[in-house]
Amino acid sequence: MIFLNGQFMPIEKASISVLDRGFIFGDGVYEVIPVYSRRPFRLDKHLHRLQHSLDGIRLKNPYTTEQWSDLIGQVVDKNAGDDQSIYLHITRGVAKRDHPFPDVPPTVFMMSNPLLPPLPESLEKGVAAITASDNRWIRCDIKSISLLPNVLLRQIAVDAGAAETILIRDGFLTEGSASNIFVVKDQVLLAPPKSHLMLPGITYDVLLELVAENHVIHEVREISEDELFSAEEIMLTSSTREIMAVTRLNEQSVGTGSPGAMFRQLHQFYQQYKATHMRGGLTC
């Protein structure tokens, strides 16, 4: 069951106009919200990021925080599975094809997909990544549905048999094509700072909170291309993949070629955080 413009229906019954600006221009934003034990994870943070994206494209939020929470809860309830991934999509609506903003209602769409945990083999052995030049636009902090650059960059990884493409702009790490990236250098955890050149990840925030609480030495600063290639460990984070170790970069081993001690520690912190909040019955 999906939600489309105020109604719940089977996905097979859903349709939108070919004049929807999301279809014509890619004029819209989206969010992906993980759900554990039928409870949305860090819903307030996801909705805050959604508001940031809407503000970035000058589109009024169609619902209040309370209304979003209720609608998302209904989507979760109407779909099977304790763990789900809620996809939320808002476009500027249906109008004659013309660039200026029309005065029309937005299109609002939500659906649920199964949220599958990372494969045990990926956690045990890590995954491969490649690097590429970050040739996207400069408002990467907006979670735009215009994802063609990300699609092309991710396909480079798929073609190479890798799990992710790590992006470099002007000699510095920005993020992955669909993830945030952490690096361990000289036993210090490094994270690139939030800016308009990267999406502020929810899992990125959780990891930084956890390392601060557990007194892990870390720095949030620009990470050079040389530091990336000489890193002892590299990790990627996202709402659907949680935290994973990158053990090969451009066909070369990262560190020992196996997930390192920092990854093991952070993965444990993250799983404990999830379990604690699920046991407490909280909407994280």
Residues contacting 129, CB < 8 A, separation 6+: 157, 162, 163, 164, 165, 166, 176, 234, 236, 246, 248, 249, 250
- Report CA-CA distances (Å) from 212 to 139, 208, 263: 28, 6, 15
| pLDDT value of position 276 | 85
DSSP 12: G
d(CA 39, CA 277): 10
pTM score of the predicted model: 0.94
Task: Give the CA angle between residues 226, 178, 281 to the nearest 5°.
Answer: 120
Could you tell me which residues come within 8 angstroms of residue 66 by beta carbon, excluding any fewer than 6 positions away?
none
Residues of the chain within CATH 3.30.470.10 domain(s) are 2-114
Q: Which parts of the chain sit beneath pLDDT 50?
A: 280-284
| pLDDT for res 278 | 64
- Structurally, at CATH architecture level, domain 2-114 sits in 2-Layer Sandwich (3.30)
At the topology level, CATH places domain 120-278 in D-amino Acid Aminotransferase; Chain A, domain 2 (3.20.10)
- Sole residue written with tokens 């094509």: 177
In which residue ranges of the chain is CATH 3.20.10.10 found? 120-278
Q: How far apart (Å, rounded) are the C-alpha atoms in residues 191 and 262?
A: 13
Q: Which residues are catalytic?
A: 143
